[in-house]
Amino acid sequence: DTEVTQTPKHLVMGMTNKKSLKCEQHMGHRAMYWYKQKAKKPPELMFVYSYEKLSINESVPSRFSPECPNSSLLNLHLHALQPEDSALYLCASSQDRMTGRYTFGSGTRLTVV
């Protein structure tokens, strides 16, 4: 299995909702990442997990809460989001944090209404 699977592909949520994004890989990669991408902008790093521990949080607001329950799974819990949080959320994994090729999921297109 050489894929990163993200679910759901699309999500519409209200500002008072709680939802979760899910990311799964079975390549034995020990680093996993969440990126946020808005139209015509580069993907922006949000969180890095290394060996299931959070190693980088790019000062992301607490309404985004990451979780890595095991080495194959990465979740992003969403609560009380704002319309400006609407974006494509990409998950990626790699064997090594810097020199390993990243394998990306196809993303979750999130709309906050």
Partner 1 sequence: ILNVEQSPQSLHVQEGDSTNFTCSFPSSNFYALHWYRWETAKSPEALFVMTLNGDEKKKGRISATLNTKEGYSYLYIKGSQPEDSATYLCAFGSSNTGKLIFGQGTTLQVKP
Q: Which is nearer to partner 1, 50 or 72 (CB)?
A: 50
Q: Which residues bind partner 1 (CB under 8 A)?
A: 4, 35, 40-45, 48, 55-56, 90, 92, 97-107
Closest CB 80 distance from partner 1, rounded Å: 27
Q: Which is nearer to partner 1, 16 or 39 (CB)?
A: 39
Closest CB 110 distance from partner 1, rounded Å: 16
Closest CB 14 distance from partner 1, rounded Å: 26
Q: Which is nearer to partner 1, 14 or 28 (CB)?
A: 28
**CB neighbour list of residue 40: distance below 8 Å, 6 or more residues apart:** none
Place of tokens 């944090």: 97
Distance CA 8, CA 14 (A): 16
Distance CA 55, CA 46 (A): 11
Closest CB 50 distance from partner 1, rounded Å: 9
Q: Which is nearer to partner 1, 13 or 88 (CB)?
A: 88
Distance CA 27, CA 103 (A): 10
Residue 43: asked if its preceding bond is cis (omega within 30°), the reply is no
Cα distances (angstroms) measured from residue 10 to each of 19, 36, 93: 12, 14, 21
